[in-house]
Amino acid sequence: MSQKFIPLSVPNLKGRELEYVTHAVKTEWVSTGGPYVNEFEEKTATYVNSKGAVSCQNGTAGLHIALQVCGVTKDDEVIVPTLTFIAAVNPVKYIGAEPVFMDCDDSLAIDTNKLLEFCKNECRLVDGRLINKKTKKHIRAVLVVHVFGNMADMEKIMEIADEFNLQVVEDATEAIGTYYTKGKYKDRHAGTIGNVGVYSYNGNKIITTGGGGMIVSDDDKLLKRAKHLTTQAKSDEIYYTHDEIGYNYRMTNLQAALGLAQLEQLEDFIKTKKNNYELYKEKIKDIAGLSLLEFKDNTRSNYWFYALNIDKEYPLNRDEVIKYLSSKKVQARPIWGLINEQKPYLNNQTYKIKKAKQYLEHIVNIPCSSNLTKEDILYIVECLKKPK
């Protein structure tokens, strides 16, 4: 029998998706009006325990709005990680602001030691504003990414933000369902600890609406402004009056129909993903030169993406592993090219970027869909055991 293709991360639509989408079509509520959008917002807020949620077209749009409701303007700078998907950083530029790139730590999230060092040594607090000594610009915010569903160190990040008066935007696009189980932020979900957080429901994420996103916050004012900006900044429901430049970013009822059905299954997906991760880990630990990156043990992670670390002992390097697995019909991918090395960002400031370069060289993401079977995992591990 010929081996079937095993994709990296694909949707799992075996719940009530068809039922809800059919209802949306039958009732002819297919656009941004319709009951599912509000319901999806409410249920998301309940799930992550935030004061409210504002839907949007995708995670990128959500981040664009999140930065604006935190007061980031074209004259500002935002500290961002360099090891992330470019959609985390592009919205800084959409606003006309500039990113300053930070290194990652061993969880692949922003290095909080270097972040603190940068704020202390390279910046100065002037009238409560953090001013970058080099550019003389106001650093308004730090944007953190919970990479692959693994929680960034929010305790340290919030302390630093407090000391240096920074807004905190959480790119939790990969981390819906991840929360602390211990410590100061026990029971708090990724996305709900900073000033504002954003989830994504792109097709490769743990739950999907085809394309979609959600902005969450505990600050009523921020939520209100986010809703305003995502719905064309109408200041009146009937007359066409607008008090600022808004966007057509609201989610449609069709997307929300999918989202509701997906949210009902999220906890099951996380259980499956955790089990699959444990199985991979158990099997991979016997292969010299390979290991899986850990998820933090003071959290319940959503186990979204599995990161295979390849060191020198293994006979193949990163690119060879990807090519080899592809020949075995297994889809694998490197992590993202560093954002500070991408053409639009070559002139932006960076701070001691070192670990990100190393991890980039050594990590490959391997199939992690919640559809993945035990047989799939055992097959992939067998391939990794005898590379030729």
Ligand X SMILES: *Cc1c(COP(=O)(O)O)cnc(C)c1O
Q: Does 200 bind ligand X (CB under 6 A)?
A: yes
**In 193-221, which positions are buried (b, 16+ CB within 10 angstroms) versus exposed (e)?**
bbbbbbbbbbebbbbbbebbbbbbbbbee
CB 299 → ligand X: shortest distance, Å? Answer: 17
Q: Does 262 bind ligand X (CB under 6 A)?
A: no
Of 56-64, 235-243, 259-267, 369-377, which part binds ligand X (CB under 6 A)?
A: 56-64
Near ligand X by CB under 6 A: residue from 37, 87, 108, 257: 87
- Distances in whole angstroms, Cα of residue 62 to Cα of each of 89, 139, 166, 204, 257: 12, 20, 19, 17, 19
CB 73 → ligand X: shortest distance, Å? Answer: 21
34 or 81: whose CB is closer to ligand X? 81
112 or 132: whose CB is closer to ligand X? 112
Q: Does 173 bind ligand X (CB under 6 A)?
A: yes
Residues in contact with ligand X, shown as a per-residue x/- string from 116 to 155 under the rule CB under 6 A? -----------------------------x----------
CB 89 → ligand X: shortest distance, Å? Answer: 9
For the CA atoms of 223, 225, 227, 228, the dihedral, rounded to the nearest 10 degrees, stands at: 170
Q: Does 170 bind ligand X (CB under 6 A)?
A: no
Q: What share of the chain is helix, strand, coil (3-state, %, to 5)?
A: 40, 20, 45
Q: What is the Cα–Cα distance from 98 to 43, expressed in whole angstroms?
A: 35
Near ligand X by CB under 6 A: residue from 174, 265, 270, 325: 174
Q: Determine the Cα angle at 219 with ends 58 and 167, to 5°.
A: 75
111 or 171: whose CB is closer to ligand X? 171
Residues in contact with ligand X, shown as a per-residue x/- string from 207 to 226 under the rule CB under 6 A? ------x-------------
41 or 171: whose CB is closer to ligand X? 171
Query: H-type helices in the chain, by residue range?
Result: 17-26, 35-48, 59-69, 90-95, 112-121, 154-164, 220-230, 253-284, 318-327, 355-362, 374-385
Q: What is the Cα–Cα distance from 18 to 226, expressed in whole angstroms?
A: 30
367 Cβ partners below 8 Å, 6+ apart? 6, 7, 8, 9, 306, 330, 331, 332, 376, 380
Near ligand X by CB under 6 A: residue from 11, 34, 59, 367: 59
Q: Does 60 bind ligand X (CB under 6 A)?
A: yes
89 or 308: whose CB is closer to ligand X? 89
Contact positions vs ligand X (CB under 6 A): 58-60, 84-85, 87-88, 145, 171, 173-174, 200, 202, 213
